[in-house]
A and B are shown apart, each in its own frame.
Chain A
Amino acid sequence: MNRTSIDWDRHFTVLADEIVRLREPGEEILCSLSAEQSDFIRFNSAKVRQIGAVQQGRLTVRLISGERHAYATLTLTGSTEPDLAEVARTLLILRDSLRDTGDDPHLLFDRSSWQRTTFRTGRLPHADALVRTVVECATGLDFVGFYAGGTIIEGFASSTGSRGWYQVSNFNFSWSLYDPNGRAIKTSYAGDDWDDALFARKVEEAAKRLEYFAKAPKVLTPGQYRTYFAPAAMNELIGMIAYRGFSAREQAAGRSPLCKLNSGALNLDQRVSLTEDLDLGLTPAFNEDGYLRESVSLLTQGRGVGQLTSARSAREYGLQTNGAHAHEMATSLAMAGGELPEAEVLAALGTGLYVGNLWYLNVSDRTQCRLTGMTRFATFWVEDGQICSPVDAMRFDDSLYRLLGSEVEHLTDTPELLLEDSTWGQRRTGGMKLPGMIARSFALTS
């Protein structure tokens, strides 16, 4: 955003100090900040469809008095005087709300004191220049895409003396190139050091891949198909279990799609290991309950070995918290790679499906970890290690227990880092690091 930026670090410090000053005897206060200054540009038909900028900051204040507590979230203007007044008003509302509240037997927060700071600047494109670059590179192509870039901030402060700050500047640009028959190749370019030449090269390489669509599509009938899942497709599969699969609360209630795995009733292939890996640096290493987050081994050699336990779940179920967020979703999953070099994927696949992307997944049977969804974008039929023809979108309905169990044939040797590109409400931190996978079979239904 091309304007005088708000110094969110300074502003948050001023607000947090004032909040601590305003607390009354017996009270503790936890504060969490989410803020962004972002540029958003949509493209359609290689032209600008929508361009804009968003500046926003939200502060969540949690007032704790004995065993009672309540939360309030407010938007911040970024100016000291009005925000201090709003914070003071919010504290009064929270204090008043505690009068109607009994003790919470599941209240737990960290009372220790720590300091953590992550601050990464980036070299991002200027929006005006980016528009020119994109239109030049996309000339002659049916280019439809979305650029999101800027600064994302997460902050934490507690009256017990903890301070956490996570501020990164980065971008995430995904685009699809369509052929006249409505088939498309999707590509993404994400990072914190924009390079016009690299972007141009990625567009050019994607355009060359459109040639695969020139051939008549292969019509597949429902059945089992030997399949390679590119890392972007694995992102969709693993994303489904990242959502609720490892949550201590969901597991306790039996709603996790990984209950059988976590109970030890079944195992996956020994090569499957998954870690909530904070060392990737993709997300803040602290949470809204004031705990420092730890890396957590979730699956080791195909066995369920860990879960994501928030403070609340820890107290409710008699567990140890590992700094998981209150929603207990994985935000930085890393899957161990295998032995297959990426360059040998097509040869190893031989004859079968190459799935570049999956789309709109959902659970069709929770107990069996059965997922349904669609193939999308770059999905091809491969014969004798050569891409032969495109495949029109097909529905699948298959168990992830099977796909990551008996059907694993190869995992690629260099897992790919896929930055979170979600913009629900605000640009999000996080991501996954995943290998590609060849499965012996994959169930297509229609």
Chain B
Amino acid sequence: MLDILKRIAANLSTDAHFWSIRLVDETTQDHEVRNDVVQPFRTGRDRGAMVIVHSDGGAAYAATSDVSPAGLQAALDIATARARASAAYSLINFAAVPVMPGRGEYASASIGVDLPERAAWLDMLGRECAGAALGEKIVERAASVQIGQSTHSYLSSDGAQIEQRFRFLMPNVRVTAHADGDTQVRSLAGSHALQQGGIDILEHMEFSGAGRRLAEEALQLLAAPNCPTGMRDLLLMPDQMILQIHESIGHPLELDRILGDERNFAGWSFVTPDMFGSYRYGSELLNVTFDPEAVGEAASYAFDDDGTRAEKQHLIRNGMLERPLGGALSQARSGMAGVANSRASSWNRAPIDRMANLNIEPGTSSLAEMIGGIEQGILMRSNVSWSIDDLRNKFQFGCEFGQLIENGQLTEVVKNPNYRGISASFWRSLAAVGDASTFRTLGTPYCGKGEPTQVVRVGHAAPACVFKAVEVFGGGV
């Protein structure tokens, strides 16, 4: 695709001092079996290009689904004219912003290995769906997989030439139990089982047997009491940790947000530029990395959508805040070091600072040690509800599944477990970080931000973690 784009670009004309073209060609396939009924096959192909122009100190973009030479020239003309017309009113002097002439390729692990045909997928999905049929209280059973393949090609007037090929798999199983006016749902990794790669993702996500396992847990929850109210030590499993990282570390560290770009929509941040290098974000056990090099994680890549080469960086080391999530443009605006995280959801949206792979590094505690060290606590897994203020500080999160911990032992299962906290103090209560045996790599395709709004795929990997004295509560009026 890069060669085609290069041939077209050779005949485009503009007198702007910088232009780039980012072409995205993505196909998706959805397979699903619901209540033993094969759902209709859905496939999609989304293809288009975004042209970005810097001229006279201004910048503008034009996105088009017409990727013919004439379509791209028209987009280039629009972006050039608009960059000039708005230059006098631009927040940023784009003439002083460095651009990244990256060159290279990237491909997801095992992208060349064929995946099963539809019939084989339907067999696998059908088995999980059937396995969840554990009686009349199970009112809905669904097993699905979404497969996405995407090629991103990037060219710029200063010589950038990048082609990146991705393959994503997102399996899911969701079981709904209902009786006596109550409903409980269990899902595979809280519906966050997204990775790059091949069929081995199913094994990593413990897909086989998930139908029966989740149905048993849904029935268990249906018979369980509500989560009690009070202060307890909180053991979060990886499929809730990823949400905790995402909302109360990832978003507040986005540099464009800190610089105020998102104040009309997604919000601002309790983190201010002066905190980097001196602010204690969490306990000494907290180590957070931006890691686009992680093999198989959902947002692994070699270059971001501005053409900057991507590499692993610590954002928080031993609890101290080091570095924001800011791409080349935000780094130029703020004078701060950042990461290669300028990303767009697709060809029709402009790059902004996004999370990519944002991980918590494993610690040294086994799961048994963490449970054994809790006198009065609760284990929670699989996110179901999330809400946080516009500064990304006050949060309330809920999980599908809770289990009390009393005197170092897992005891009663409880339903509707929720907890509240404040980001600025919550991470300082981090008391134990699980070792590699508790570590899981997950992800979501639904990280929302920006105006116009964009949803991008992000990866999160985390061990199980313990937080001291957290306010927990359950359902009911």
Interfacial residues, chain A to chain B (CB-CB below 8 A) = 1-4, 38, 40, 42-45, 47-58, 69-79, 82, 93, 97, 100-102, 104-107, 127-128, 131-132, 135, 144-146, 148, 174-176, 178, 182, 184, 186, 252-255, 259-260, 263, 265, 359-368, 370, 372-374, 376, 393, 395, 397, 399, 401-402, 422-425, 427, 445-446
Q: For the complex, what is the distance from the CA of A348 to the CA of B394, rounded to whole Å? A: 31
A45 touches B260 (CB 8 A): yes
Chain B 59-89, CB within 8 Å of chain A: the 1/0 string?
Answer: 1111111111001001001110111011001
Q: Given the complex, which residues of A lie within 8 Å of B263, measured CB to CB?
A: 44, 144, 176, 178, 184
Could you say which of A56, A107, A360 contacts B48, with CB atoms under 8 Å apart? A56
Interfacial residues, chain B to chain A (CB-CB below 8 A) = 37-48, 58-68, 71, 74, 77-79, 81-83, 85-86, 89-92, 117-119, 122, 139-140, 176, 178, 181-183, 185, 259-261, 263-265, 267-268, 348, 350, 352, 385-391, 394, 396, 398, 416, 418, 420, 448, 451-453, 455, 474-477
B48 touches A75 (CB 8 A): yes
B385 touches A362 (CB 8 A): yes
Q: Given the complex, which residues of B lie within 8 Å of A184, measured CB to CB?
A: 263
Could you say which of B47, B74, B474 contacts A3, with CB atoms under 8 Å apart? B74
Q: Given the complex, which residues of A lie within 8 Å of B139, measured CB to CB?
A: 252-254
Q: Given the complex, which residues of B lie within 8 Å of A73, measured CB to CB?
A: 42-46
Q: For the complex, what is the distance from the CA of A256 to the CA of B179, rounded to whole Å? A: 14
Could you say which of B44, B78, B182, B385 contacts A372, with CB atoms under 8 Å apart? B385
B452 touches A423 (CB 8 A): yes
Q: For the complex, what is the distance from the CA of A425 to the CA of B347, rounded to whole Å? A: 10
A446 touches B394 (CB 8 A): yes
B292 to chain A, nearest CB (A): 23
Closest to B62 in A: A53
Q: Given the complex, which residues of B lie within 8 Å of A260, measured CB to CB?
A: 181
Count of A-B contacts judged by CB separation below 8 Å: 253
B86 touches A395 (CB 8 A): no
Q: Which 6 A-B residue pairings sit nearest by Cβ, starting from the closest?
A: A254-B178, A423-B452, A365-B475, A52-B61, A254-B183, A47-B91
Q: For the complex, what is the distance from the CA of A73 to the CA of B42, rounded to whole Å? A: 8
Could you say which of A45, A364, A427 contacts B396, with CB atoms under 8 Å apart? A364
Q: Given the complex, which residues of A lie within 8 Å of B82, measured CB to CB?
A: 51-53, 127-128
Q: Given the complex, which residues of A lie within 8 Å of B58, measured CB to CB?
A: 48
A418 to chain B, nearest CB (A): 16
Closest to B52 in A: A52
Q: Given the complex, which residues of A lie within 8 Å of B65, measured CB to CB?
A: 55-58, 75-78
Q: Could you list 15 A-B pairs, sorted by A, with CB under 8 Å?
A: A1-B78, A43-B91, A45-B260, A47-B91, A48-B90, A51-B60, A53-B63, A54-B62, A72-B42, A101-B38, A128-B85, A131-B85, A146-B452, A265-B181, A364-B418
B60 touches A52 (CB 8 A): yes
A393 touches B387 (CB 8 A): no
A422 touches B453 (CB 8 A): yes
Q: For the complex, what is the distance from the CA of A365 to the CA of B399, rounded to whole Å? A: 11
Q: For the complex, what is the distance from the CA of A260 to the CA of B127, rounded to whole Å? A: 33
Q: Given the complex, which residues of A lie within 8 Å of B267, measured CB to CB?
A: 359
Q: For the complex, what is the distance from the CA of A73 to the CA of B181, rounded to whole Å? A: 39
Q: Given the complex, which residues of A lie within 8 Å of B66, measured CB to CB?
A: 55, 77-79
Closest to B26 in A: A75
Given known pairs A48-B90, A54-B63, A374-B387, the reply for A82 and B118 (CB within 8 Å) is no
Q: Given the complex, which residues of A lie within 8 Å of B86, measured CB to CB?
A: 48, 51, 127-128, 131
B42 touches A53 (CB 8 A): no
Q: For the complex, what is the distance from the CA of A204 to the CA of B42, rounded to whole Å? A: 50
A74 touches B475 (CB 8 A): no
Given known pairs A53-B62, A70-B42, A176-B264, the reply for A146 and B68 (CB within 8 Å) is no
